């Protein structure tokens, strides 16, 4: 079964501090992992995909198959990073649906 776990419901950091949002997954094959973000009063949007190996808004995430993790990191958090973050997994073959974690609400304090 596919499962995504985000252990922190809430995460609070100060501006300029490093931030790491944790994501662990359960999947027997080779998954695709995504991070989605929802800013206040905005729609859910794609932040980054592990396949792209890109950095968006200073965020990066590395897929660690040994630890089955896909943690989202940013070295210096900004107030505008405050949002709800969802980790998501899509398996290979069969259904293309995404399985989401329950989300982590990040608050960056001034």
Partner 1 sequence: GAGVSQSPSNKVTEKGKDVELRCDPISGHTALYWYRQSLGQGLEFLIYFQGNSAPDKSGLPSDRFSAERTGGSVSTLTIQRTQQEDSAVYLCASSSPGRKGYTFGSGTRLTVV
Strands 60-61 vs 10-14: parallel, antiparallel or unpaired:
unpaired
- Span 68-107, contacts to partner 1 by CB under 8 A: 86, 88, 90, 95-103
Within 1-110, strands assigned E span 3-5, 10-14, 19-21, 24-26, 32-38, 45-49, 60-61, 72-74, 83-90, 99-100, 104-109
Scanning 19-27, 30-38, 58-66, 71-79 for contacts with partner 1 by CB under 8 A, the matching segment is: 30-38
Find the shortest distance in angstroms from Cβ 48 to partner 1. Answer: 9
Choice between 14 and 26, CB closer to partner 1: 26
Bridge-partner residues for 39, per DSSP?
none
Choice between 49 and 73, CB closer to partner 1: 49
Find the shortest distance in angstroms from Cβ 40 to partner 1. Answer: 13
């Amino acid at each position: 079964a596919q499962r995504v776990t985000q252990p922190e419901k809430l995460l609070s950091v100060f501006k300029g501090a490093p931030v790491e949002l944790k994501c662990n997954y359960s999947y027997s094959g080779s998954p695709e992992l995504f991070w989605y973000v929802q800013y206040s009063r905005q729609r859910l949007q794609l932040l980054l995909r592990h396949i792209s190996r890109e950095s968006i808004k200073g965020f990066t995430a590395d897929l660690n198959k040994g630890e089955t993790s896909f943690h989202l990191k940013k070295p210096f958090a900004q107030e505008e990073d405050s949002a709800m973050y969802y980790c998501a997994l899509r398996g290979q073959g069969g259904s293309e649906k995404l399985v989401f974690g329950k989300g982590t609400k990040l608050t960056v304090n001034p």
